[in-house]
């Protein structure tokens, strides 16, 4: 086993591309070290990407925000501009694990770990976030929802690293929010979760909407029909009712130690309603 | 002579009788005489029997005297956390 | 397996060690450096008993590799008191009997120190959510929360 | 020994104060040494290979490849722990549980172990051990296991306690029965009867410190064991017997213990560590992982309980009956028996009958968990009591007060009660401001009562007075939550000196006589009795030394407030001698001054608690939050009230976790699905409110200071108190613990659909 700490993304990609045995990328390590401890993965190469230039920074650009792959979730919460623009993404990131875990974990890691219950992913999907992928054949930018392909599986090729997550600049009257259901008040993995991202027109009606559900299917679900039902509304009761019904119906959940199929279906609808109301309020809707 | 009451399961190995009159001055003698009369009780004594004398439970003090007219109740010896 | 040479700072002192690439900072602290104040309750980041502060950030040392400490500053429970002067949190934990078995105590003290550094006047709710990553099975948290509240008051006055 | 344990009603100077504990600074600075914090020269790392199957015959174990791995110093299987138990069935079970002999009986059962130079090598070695299993059908559910067609876990088990030995073996090891009167006649008199069935899932004590030890066996048969345990003397007996060592040559030192709650009351991996050390010829450190703690230590029983209670219109209970089935893991236990004894202990009943069935399942060996078996029985009984009060149209507290046991009541488990605290706790609750506080929508208030016996037992204590007048107190009951502070207070009280002059330590097994373990809430009760006795013995010597100094008869010397005083006018000019004065001169008056005591602390006083709980239920998700909680409990006498409060709060918090979220979840494959703190959800700080406490002091007549035990009773009422609160909040009667959100939501949906 080798531990390396490359200083450039090219070096990191190169090492990963030529690795013979299993290789792992280390940013926050909050998933990787748990899997190593449990014996689920025995990497021959660990590539620590935290010292690569730019990967530990959040930068505000003309197009929005670029969040480096090694930025701990706690740092997202400390960035005022990001918090104001994307409160739903930030609150999702700051729900992962404990304060201790938030000091280490990253939204990129959360995405690439490819758990359907990852907290930050529904918020990122609803936000229309993009992932910048660096690989042996250059860089590409893809929608975050195209990264995970199933529990623990991603579309990334050998040698590829997600080096940053991009979030758009916010227009006027925009808001996002994220809610999850857990049995305790902290420390649990989401039993089911929902993220909503809205923009409003000048009259306060919803202009665009994206709704995503977590722990409701093998990957985070972007429920396009749920977004469509919101567009044009001011979140009246009938719309919320339809939203809940569509979200419950869109779920393809499983029975497991964290919840039942019936529970997840029902609560997906409940959370969608509640989270839409929060996002609407944040966007300035009344 | 003291009157001793056995709990339900113990009376099953003591001729199905819950109440027994026994001439015994202390707990040690009580156990010895019970075992003589009902050999099936012996493994229970080995596993541990507590004795309640007028409501106070004795688990290990076999030298404890049994006052006349006292209420004597046998109980299983328990585990605690 | 190739060992990794690490130069770091622990409780203000320069420290060098050689560790395996998959060895956690918790293992390094406990097994190589004799700093057994951080405890392993789970090894998976779920109990907070191994909490330490790395470069000003509260982390579970079981979820950090020893190799990652290169060039960092690590604070552990062993560095919390100044000589024979207990930190106000340590003193208040004693006064409030905020510990029974005490196994979670080092982690709680480190987490509480981090909490008060970031928020010197936390509400009860902020304390409870701020310390939610530290499990205690003995106290029901009541006396821990009160000790932190009391320590916060003392530290503000100081 | 001539020791008078009777309550004296004295006034206290030290007892009842709240000083800082003697082991406090070590614990806030990280210096305190727990099970895993100790090391020996040349120490190896031990690790255990565990069965992935719930039930399987072990056909063959091939360890040859592991033995050949560089750095491996010993590999053992059950062959290295031969059966020396000589017909002692309970010890045989402990042996078989330490290392499976013929069959693996649960997911996590130990089958082999290695000692190697480091953890990585040990882990590699485990992978090289080849075990050939023949997988058998398994059963993990208590009700399914009790069925006659269930897979048999042990074909030598024929149910005990029946009038005739059954013809066929089964998974029911024992039937027990308690009660008096005639329940049929009692139910015939009842105007209202409520009958319900309940289930509770298996929970774990959840101590944060995994089991850990360092074992060192020497070629001459001497050995040392450093271990986190609730009873090092008991561990010594177990290990000596299982390893064939002489007890006095095995020194066991109890480390600081990071929580036990009953789970560290008998040996698990310690015999394995000793066997590894014996084979390797080097010390071995063995620390369980969290996964191993959940899979292979001793959680509490899962239960299935039926309760039936009848009452007259005026609120008098006429009859009460319960049938209790408790899981024991794969080995015989007496857990339903305790449930059957405690179920109705709070009430004065003319006609009562309880029947318990001990049920074997393919789960880890059940161990004690804080007032073991009582919380589940109380959940079932107190739920029915609440429902019956509603049917009668009576207030829940008044109904309980009307039927509460009192001094002179025949308990449901047999003996007649002395002075007890159930009535006073109920009266205190009735008058508590919490009962009158307003509630909002979806909030509900519940209350419930609980009982625990409390234990005494064998206890030995040494009290040594230094030449500077300070006192060291060596006790043999492990300090699990501040007892060194309490016992120092007791020594100070009895000697009449300041608390700061006393320091209590827990002595190892070679330094003190035998002590039973710290269980059954006995630590402070028993060791305080022994400390008082030891102090009185020391005072006798102190008086003799003073008499010698003054050259007067010892009968004329009394001990008051830490001083020897010459009594009588003729000694008017003799100024009192302090303990310090006498100690300073001890070298010339006869040598060291000490008091010893060895006794059986019997006569522990039963204790009762009543809890009040407010919850808020989210009717759309079934999520339940405890928003206010109050514990009222009889302590007999609170020696260190802060630590008594701590016990009340801690027990309540554990009960809250059990009530709402904690449970062992097994898959169809018989494997534990949630062996970690992520999915075995013990309460976190933000889950709980402050937990208010009210200490009542109804003296135990059998202790000089009136002390009862305080540690366990507080976990008994919460399950029922929360279930009653949920029922009052949203109108559904929850009969399955934990009341997790999916269960509550399903119950609410069923209610809405009618």
Would you place residue B70 in the very low, low, confident or very high pLDDT band (cuts 50, 70, 90)? confident
D688 in C contact zone (CB under 8 Å)? yes
> Distance between CA atoms of D734 and D199, rounded to whole angstroms?
10
**Interface residue ranges in chain B relative to chain D, Cβ cutoff 8 Å:** 5, 7-9, 12, 16, 47, 52, 54-61, 64, 71, 73-76, 78-81
Question: Are A200 and A218 in the same domain?
Answer: yes
What's the ipTM? Answer: 0.97
Question: Are A127 and A37 in the same domain?
Answer: yes
What digits encode the pLDDT tens for the residues D495-524? 999 999 999 999 999 999 999 999 988 999
What digits encode the pLDDT tens for the residues D602-629? 888 899 999 999 999 999 999 999 999 9
A251, A212 contact by CB (below 8 A): no
Q: Nearest 5 degrees, angle CA D241-CA D242-CA D248?
A: 40
| Residue D556 vs residues C155, D546, D565, D583, D703: alpha-carbon distances, Å | 56, 10, 8, 20, 28
Sign of CA dihedral C48, C53, C54, C58: positive
Nearest to A199 by CA among A209, A214, A189: A209
C53 in D contact zone (CB under 8 Å)? no
* Domain ranges for chain D: 24-32+456-601, 139-417
Nearest to D289 by CA among C106, C46, C102, C20: C46
Q: What is the DSSP string of A104-149?
A: T-BHHHHHHTT-TT-SHHHHHHHTT-EEEEEETTEEEEEEGGGSEE
> Distance between CA atoms of D583 and D566, rounded to whole angstroms?
17
Question: Are A26 and A164 in the same domain?
Answer: yes
User: Is a pLDDT exceeding 80 seen at residue D163?
Assistant: no
User: Is a pLDDT exceeding 60 seen at residue D1?
Assistant: no
C47 in A contact zone (CB under 8 Å)? no
**Interface residue ranges in chain A relative to chain C, Cβ cutoff 8 Å:** 1-3, 5, 26, 28-30, 33-34, 36-38, 46, 48, 50, 72, 74, 97-101, 103-104, 185-187
Among the partner residues D20, D24, D258, nearest to C101 by beta-carbon distance: D258
C48: which chain A residues are within 8 Å (Cβ-Cβ)?
A: 98, 100
Nearest residue on chain D to C131, judged by CA atoms? Answer: D685
Would you place residue C158 in the very low, low, confident or very high pLDDT band (cuts 50, 70, 90)? low
> Distance between CA atoms of D253 and C119, rounded to whole angstroms?
42
Among the partner residues B16, B55, B79, nearest to D416 by beta-carbon distance: B55
Tokens matching residue C70: 């290169």
> Distance between CA atoms of C137 and C154, rounded to whole angstroms?
27
Q: What is the mean pLDDT of chain D?
A: 97
Tokens matching residue A1: 């086993």
For a pLDDT cut of 70, what percent of chain A falls above it? 100
Query: What CATH number is given for D139-417 in this structure?
Result: 3.30.365.10
Asked whether the beta carbons of residue C48 and residue A50 sit closer than 8 angstroms, the reply is no
Architecture of domain B2-76: Roll (3.10)
Q: Characterize the bridge pairing of strands A148-150 and A153-154.
A: antiparallel
Among the partner residues D123, D661, D677, nearest to A183 by beta-carbon distance: D661
Q: Characterize the bridge pairing of strands D72-76 and C57-60.
A: unpaired
D418: which chain B residues are within 8 Å (Cβ-Cβ)?
A: 54-56
Tokens matching residue D416: 């007649």
> Distance between CA atoms of D704 and D385, rounded to whole angstroms?
36
D456: which chain B residues are within 8 Å (Cβ-Cβ)?
A: 59-60
- Predicted confidence at residue B13, as pLDDT, reads 83
Neighbours of D102 (CB within 10 A): 10
CATH at A69: 3.30.465.10
D368, D301 contact by CB (below 8 A): no
Question: Are A196 and A56 in the same domain?
Answer: no
Question: Are A159 and A234 in the same domain?
Answer: no
Nearest residue on chain A to C59, judged by CA atoms? Answer: A100
Mean pLDDT of A81-91: 98
What digits encode the pLDDT tens for the residues D230-272? 999 999 999 999 999 999 999 999 999 999 999 999 999 999 9
Chain C touches chain A, with at least 3 Cβ pairs below 8 Å, answer yes
Q: Helices D718-730 and D374-392: crossing angle, nearest 10°? A: 40
- Predicted confidence at residue B57, as pLDDT, reads 83
For a pLDDT cut of 90, what percent of chain A falls above it? 99
Asked whether the beta carbons of residue B9 and residue D175 sit closer than 8 angstroms, the reply is yes
Which domains are present in chain C? 4-79 (3.10.20.30), 88-157 (1.10.150.120)
Mean pLDDT of A215-239: 97
Q: How far is D254 from chain B (nearest CA, A)?
A: 17
Question: Are A122 and A205 in the same domain?
Answer: no
Question: Are A125 and A187 in the same domain?
Answer: no
C96 in D contact zone (CB under 8 Å)? yes
What digits encode the pLDDT tens for the residues D133-159? 999 999 999 999 999 999 999 999 999
- Predicted confidence at residue D300, as pLDDT, reads 98
Q: Nearest 5 degrees, angle CA D35-CA D37-CA D38?
A: 90
Place of tokens 């209670």: D309
| Residue D592 vs residues A267, B44, B51, D471, D579: alpha-carbon distances, Å | 72, 45, 40, 12, 13
- Which region among A101-115, B21-35, D25-39 has the lowest average model confidence (pLDDT)? B21-35
User: Is a pLDDT exceeding 70 seen at residue C1?
Assistant: no
Mean pLDDT of D475-489: 96
D123 in C contact zone (CB under 8 Å)? no
> Distance between CA atoms of D80 and D87, rounded to whole angstroms?
19
- Predicted confidence at residue B43, as pLDDT, reads 83
- Which 3 state secondary structure label does DSSP give D661? coil
Mean pLDDT of D629-651: 98
> Distance between CA atoms of A254 and A147, rounded to whole angstroms?
22
In terms of residue numbers, what domain contains A181? Answer: 174-282
Between C and D, how many residue pairs show a Cβ–Cβ distance under 8 A?
Answer: 173
D24-32+456-601: what fold?
A: Aldehyde Oxidoreductase; domain 4 (3.30.365)
Given A137, A168, A199, which residue is the final one in a domain? A168
Q: What is the mean pLDDT of chain C?
A: 97
Q: Nearest 5 degrees, angle CA D364-CA D366-CA D371?
A: 150
Residue of A3, A30, A37, A183 for testing the chain C interface, max C β-carbons within 10 Å = A3
Neighbours of D464 (CB within 10 A): 16
Question: Are A140 and A208 in the same domain?
Answer: no
> Distance between CA atoms of D701 and D499, rounded to whole angstroms?
25
Given A117, A148, A168, which residue is the final one in a domain? A168
Among the partner residues A3, A72, A101, nearest to C65 by beta-carbon distance: A3
Q: Which residues pair with D195 in a beta bridge?
A: D308
Q: Could you check whether D24-32+456-601 and D139-417 share the same CATH topology? A: yes
| Residue A184 vs residues A97, B47, C132, D171, D656: alpha-carbon distances, Å | 12, 42, 10, 36, 12
pTM of the model: 0.97
Question: Between these two residues, B40 and A284, which has the higher pLDDT value?
Answer: A284
> Distance between CA atoms of C44 and D538, rounded to whole angstroms?
51
Nearest to A246 by CA among A274, A218, A227: A227
What digits encode the pLDDT tens for the residues C50-101? 999 999 999 999 999 999 999 999 999 999 999 999 999 999 999 999 999 9
Given A168, A183, A205, which residue is the final one in a domain? A168
Q: How far is B42 from chain D (nearest CA, A)?
A: 14
Edge-to-edge strand ranges of the sheet holding D284-287 = D72-76, D110-116, D44-50, D284-287, D212-217, D223-227, D250-254
Q: Which residues contact A57 (CB under 8 A, 6 or more apart)?
A: A68, A71
> Distance between CA atoms of A204 and A211, rounded to whole angstroms?
18
C36 in D contact zone (CB under 8 Å)? yes
Sign of CA dihedral A86, A87, A90, A96: negative
> Distance between CA atoms of A62 and A169, rounded to whole angstroms?
7
Number of domains chain A is built from? 2
Q: Which residues contact D459 (CB under 8 A, 6 or more apart)?
A: D476, D477, D515, D516, D526, D527, D529, D530, D597, D598, D599, D600, D601
Q: Across B19-67, where does the E strand assignment appear?
A: 19-22, 49-53, 56-58
């Amino acid at each position: 086993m080798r531990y390396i700490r490359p200083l450039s993304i090219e070096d990191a990609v190169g090492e990963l591309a030529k690795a013979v045995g299993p290789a792992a990328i280390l940013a926050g390590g909050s998933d990787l070290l748990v899997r190593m401890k449990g014996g689920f993965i025995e990497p021959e190469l660990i590539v620590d990407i935290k010292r690569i230039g730019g990967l530990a920074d959040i930068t505000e650009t003309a197009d929005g925000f670029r969040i480096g792959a090694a930025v701990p979730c706690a740092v997202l919460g400390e960035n005022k501009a990001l918090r104001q623009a994307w409160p739903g993404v930030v609150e999702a990131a700051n729900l992962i694990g404990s304060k201790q875990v938030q000091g280490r974990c990253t939204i990129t890691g959360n995405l690439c770990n490819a758990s359907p219950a990852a907290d930050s992913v529904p918020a990122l999907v609803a936000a229309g976030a993009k992932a910048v992928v660096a690989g042996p054949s250059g860089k590409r930018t893809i929608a975050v929802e195209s990264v995970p392909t199933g529990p623990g599986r991603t579309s990334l090729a050998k040698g590829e690293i997600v080096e940053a997550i991009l979030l758009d600049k916010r227009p006027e009257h925009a808001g996002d929010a994220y809610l999850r259901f857990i049995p305790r008040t902290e420390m649990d993995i989401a039993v089911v979760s929902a993220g909503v991202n809205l923009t409003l027109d000048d009259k306060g009606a919803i202009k665009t909407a994206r709704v995503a559900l977590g722990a409701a299917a093998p990957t985070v679900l972007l429920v396009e029909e749920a977004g469509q039902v919101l567009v044009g509304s001011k979140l009246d009761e009938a719309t919320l009712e339809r939203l809940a019904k569509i979200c419950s119906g869109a779920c393809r959940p499983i029975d497991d130690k964290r919840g039942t199929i019936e529970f997840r279906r029902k609560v997906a609808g409940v959370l969608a309603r509640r989270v839409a109301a929060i996002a609407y309020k944040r966007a300035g809707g009344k | 002579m003291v009157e001793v009451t056995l709990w339900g399961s113990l009376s099953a190995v003591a001729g199905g009788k819950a109440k027994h009159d026994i001439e015994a001055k202390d707990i040690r003698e009580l156990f010895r005489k019970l075992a003589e009369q009902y050999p099936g009780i012996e493994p229970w004594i080995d596993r541990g029997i507590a004795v309640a004398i007028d409501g106070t439970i004795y688990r290990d003090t076999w030298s404890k005297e049994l006052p006349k007219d006292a209420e004597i109740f046998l109980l299983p010896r328990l585990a605690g956390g | 397996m190739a060992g990794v040479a690490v130069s770091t700072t622990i409780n203000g002192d320069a420290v060098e060690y050689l560790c395996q690439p998959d060895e956690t900072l918790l293992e390094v602290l406990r097994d190589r450096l004799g700093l057994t104040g951080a405890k392993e309750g789970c090894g998976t980041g779920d109990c907070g008993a191994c909490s330490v502060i790395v470069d000003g950030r509260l982390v579970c040392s079981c979820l950090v590799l020893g190799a990652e400490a290169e060039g960092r500053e690590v604070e552990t429970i062993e560095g919390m008191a100044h000589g024979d002067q207990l930190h106000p949190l340590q003193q208040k934990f004693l006064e409030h009997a905020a510990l029974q078995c005490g196994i979670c105590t080092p982690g709680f003290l480190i987490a509480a120190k981090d909490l008060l550094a970031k928020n010197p006047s936390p509400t009860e709710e902020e304390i409870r959510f701020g310390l939610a990553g530290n499990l205690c099975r003995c106290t029901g948290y009541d006396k821990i929360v009160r000790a932190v509240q009391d320590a916060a008051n003392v530290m503000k006055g100081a | 020994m001539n020791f008078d344990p009777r309550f004296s009603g004295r006034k206290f100077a030290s007892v009842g104060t709240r000083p800082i504990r003697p082991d406090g600074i070590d614990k806030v600075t990280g210096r305190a040494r727990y099970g895993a914090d100790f090391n020996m020269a040349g120490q190896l790392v031990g690790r255990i290979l565990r069965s992935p199957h719930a039930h399987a015959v072990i056909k063959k174990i091939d360890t040859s490849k592991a033995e050949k791995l560089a750095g491996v110093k010993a590999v053992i299987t059950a062959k290295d722990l031969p059966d020396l138990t000589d017909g002692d069935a309970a010890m045989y079970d402990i042996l078989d549980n330490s290392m499976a002999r013929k069959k693996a009986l649960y997911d996590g059962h130990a089958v082999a172990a290695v000692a190697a130079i480091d953890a990585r090598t040990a882990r590699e070695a485990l992978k090289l051990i080849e075990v050939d299993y023949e997988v058998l059908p398994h059963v993990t559910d208590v009700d399914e296991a009790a069925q006659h067609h269930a897979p048999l876990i042990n074909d030598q088990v024929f149910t005990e306690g029946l009038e005739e030995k059954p013809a066929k073996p089964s998974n029911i090891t024992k039937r027990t029965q308690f009660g008096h009167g005639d329940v049929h006649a009692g139910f015939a008199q009842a105007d209202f009867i409520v009958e319900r069935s309940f289930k509770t899932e298996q929970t774990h004590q959840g101590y944060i410190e995994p089991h850990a030890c360092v074992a060192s066996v020497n070629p001459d048969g001497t050995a040392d064991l450093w271990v986190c345990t609730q009873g090092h003397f008991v561990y010594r007996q177990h290990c000596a017997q299982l390893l064939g060592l002489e007890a006095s040559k095995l020194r066991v030192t109890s480390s600081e213990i990071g929580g036990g709650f009953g789970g560290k009351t008998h040996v698990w991996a310690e015999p394995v560590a000793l066997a590894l050390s014996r084979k390797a010829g080097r010390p071995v450190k063995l620390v369980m992982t969290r996964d191993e703690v959940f899979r292979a230590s001793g959680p509490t029983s899962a239960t299935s309980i039926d309760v039936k209670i009848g009452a007259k219109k005026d609120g008098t209970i006429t009859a009460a009956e319960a049938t209790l089935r408790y899981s024991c893991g794969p080995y015989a236990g007496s857990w339903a028996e305790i449930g059957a004894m405690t179920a109705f202990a709070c009430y004065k009943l003319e006609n009562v009958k309880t029947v318990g069935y001990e049920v074997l399942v393919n789960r880890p060996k059940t161990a004690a968990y804080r007032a073991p078996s009582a919380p589940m029985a109380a959940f079932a009984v107190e739920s029915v009591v609440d429902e019956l009060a509603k049917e009668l149209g009576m207030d829940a507290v008044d109904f309980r007060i009307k039927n509460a046991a009192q001094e002179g009541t025949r308990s449901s488990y047999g003996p007649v009660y002395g002075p007890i605290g159930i009535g006073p706790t109920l009266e205190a609750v009735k008058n508590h401001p919490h009962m009158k506080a307003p509630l909002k929508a979806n909030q509900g208030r519940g209350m419930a009562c609980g009982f625990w016996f409390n234990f005494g037992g064998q206890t030995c204590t040494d009290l040594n007075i230094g030449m500077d007048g300070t006192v060291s107190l060596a006790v043999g009951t492990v300090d699990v939550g501040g007892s060194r502070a309490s016992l120092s207070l007791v020594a100070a009280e009895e000697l009449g000196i300041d608390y700061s002059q006393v320091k209590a330590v827990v002595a190892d097994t070679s330094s003190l006589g035998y002590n039973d373990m710290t269980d059954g809430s006995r630590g402070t009760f028993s060791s305080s009795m022994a400390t008082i006795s030891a102090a009185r013995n020391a005072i006798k010597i102190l008086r003799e030394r003073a008499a010698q100094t003054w050259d007067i008869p010892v009968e004329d010397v009394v001990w008051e407030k830490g001083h020897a005083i010459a009594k009588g006018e003729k000694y008017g000019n003799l100024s009192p001698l302090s303990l310090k004065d006498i100690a300073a001169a001890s070298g010339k008056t006869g040598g060291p001054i000490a008091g010893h005591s060895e006794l059986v602390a019997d006569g522990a006083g039963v204790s009762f608690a009543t809890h009040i709980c407010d919850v808020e239920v989210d009717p759309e998700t079934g999520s339940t939050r405890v928003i206010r909680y109050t514990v009222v409990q009889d302590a007999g006498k609170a020696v260190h009230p802060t630590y008594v409060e701590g016990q009340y709060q801690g027990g309540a918090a554990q009960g809250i976790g059990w009530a709402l979220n904690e449970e062992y979840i097994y898959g169809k494959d018989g494997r534990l699905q949630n062996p970690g703190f992520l999915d075995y959800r013990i309460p976190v700080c933000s889950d709980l409110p402050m937990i208010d406490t009210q200490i009542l002091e109804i003296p135990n007549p059998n202790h000089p200071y009136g002390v009862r035990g305080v540690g366990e009773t507080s976990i008994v009422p919460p399950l029922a108190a929360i279930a009653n609160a949920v029922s009052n909040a949203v109108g559904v009667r929850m009969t399955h613990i934990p009341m997790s959100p999916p269960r509550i939501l399903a119950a609410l949906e069923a209610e809405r659909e009618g």
